[in-house]
Amino acid sequence: MAVSKKAPAPRVLWKGAISFGLVHIPVALYSATTDHGIDFDWLDKRTMDPVGYKRINKKTGKEIARENIVKGIEYEDGEYVVLSDKEIADAYPKTTQTIEIESFVPANGIPFVYLERPYYVAPINRGAKVYALLRETLQRSQRIGVARVVIQTKQHLAALVPVGPGLVLNLLRWGADIRPWTELPLPSEDAKKAGLREHEIKMAEQLVEDMSAEWDPDEYKDEFKDEILRLVDRKVAAGQTETVAQIEPEEGQSVESRGAKIIDLTELLQRSLRKGGGGKAAAASEDSDDEEEAPAATRAKPRPKAKPGAHGKTAAKSSSSGGAARKRTAAKAATARRRAA
């Protein structure tokens, strides 16, 4: 197996502030997950050139230049409304750089089906004390914050959850995106109506008790990934490698921030309570000129949602220009393994 590389330092994905009442906590978002899946590259088996993508007109089969592509939404079968880039841009929500908490709900009040993507939240610009206050308050009250946040150009519903020493911002699915149970052929919630007998329930409970354990993520491995990496190791050792032209990825840009001035926390809390907790947040730090950086999963500009298969264009695979071939050594395979490890 390939030797694991030292994990890179966490990268800031977004900077802004948590806001509730008149309290303002400057924070940064960091990705809470990483993808360890196998990354298979597409290659032309005749030449070992990388395979890319082209925009193809479904009707003619011909490639379409980017400038000739417009965005449309199908409102009836075969009937579209075409929207310009400016019209779409004007509809984007206003970027506020704020995680605006709208309410606090019981910690177990949000079903798992609503959870979508987690981000770590850490304080910046001397916001540690106010951050710790919010974390401690949520833990003691067994509540989580329900908030709205705009990342890049997309507005999200999110839950702010205290987890150990920190806070996690878990993006939520909108209620309209969750299908109702009524669409599924489920048995009755009444045990007797579902045909269950008491002795069957007791045996099932005993089985669950016998198999119960504390959650340990290290106990569970991606067996497919491990087997693929072992196969790669064997092929590298046998010299079964191919020559493939390399394409260097573009490096991301760093984000700079300015300092913040924190005002008296006790005064903020008192003023918030006098306003009933619903007043508009007063800035406890100076406005930041930080430009937010979208997480990898939302970096591309979002498009209006359309029906599946409704677009008139699609991406089709085709061979990109190969260029001069360079020898692919065992280091290439090791790189692929590290990328998946």
The 10s digit of each residue's pLDDT in 95-106 is 778 899 999 999
pLDDT in tens, 122-142: 999 888 999 999 999 999 999
| Interatomic CA distance for residues 322 and 273, integer angstroms | 66
Question: For position 190, what pLDDT does the model report?
Answer: 92
78: left (phi over 0), alpha (psi -120 to 50) or beta: left
CB 272 within 8 A of CB 24: no
Residues 6+ apart with CB under 8 A from 268: 21, 22, 23, 24, 282, 284
Q: What is the mean pLDDT of residues 319-327?
A: 39
Question: Is residue 86 scored above 70 in pLDDT?
Answer: yes
What is the rounded distance in angstroms from the CA atom of residue 98 to the CA atom of residue 281? Answer: 10
Q: Are strands 71-76 and 79-83 parallel, antiparallel or unpaired?
A: antiparallel
Averaged pLDDT, 25-30:
86
Percent of the chain with pLDDT over 90: 28
Map out the domains of the chain with their CATH numbers: 12-177+215-340 (2.40.290.10)
Report pLDDT digits (tens) over 151-206: 888 899 999 999 999 999 999 999 989 888 888 888 999 999 999 999 999 999 99
Distance between CA 278 and CA 275 in Å, rounded? 6
- Whole-angstrom CA distances from 215 to 57, 140, 184, 220 are 50, 23, 30, 10
Q: pLDDT class for 316, splitting at 50, 70, 90? A: very low
Q: Which pLDDT band, with edges at 50, 70 and 90, does 318 fall under?
A: very low
- The sign of the CA dihedral 295, 173, 280, 302 is positive
Say which residues have a Cβ less than 8 Å from residue 161's Cβ, sequence separation at least 6: 107, 138, 144, 167, 168, 169, 170
Going by C-alpha positions, the residue among 29, 25, 15, 1 that lies closest to residue 281 is: 25
Closest CA to 341 of 32, 33, 5: 5
pTM listed for this prediction:
0.60
* Of residues 214, 120, 125, 127, the one with CA closest to residue 165: 120
303 phi and psi, to 5 degrees? Answer: -110, 155
Q: Which burial class, exposed, middle or buried, applies to 337 when counting CB atoms under 10 A from its CB (0-12, 13-18, 19+)?
A: buried
Averaged pLDDT for residues 286-297: 39
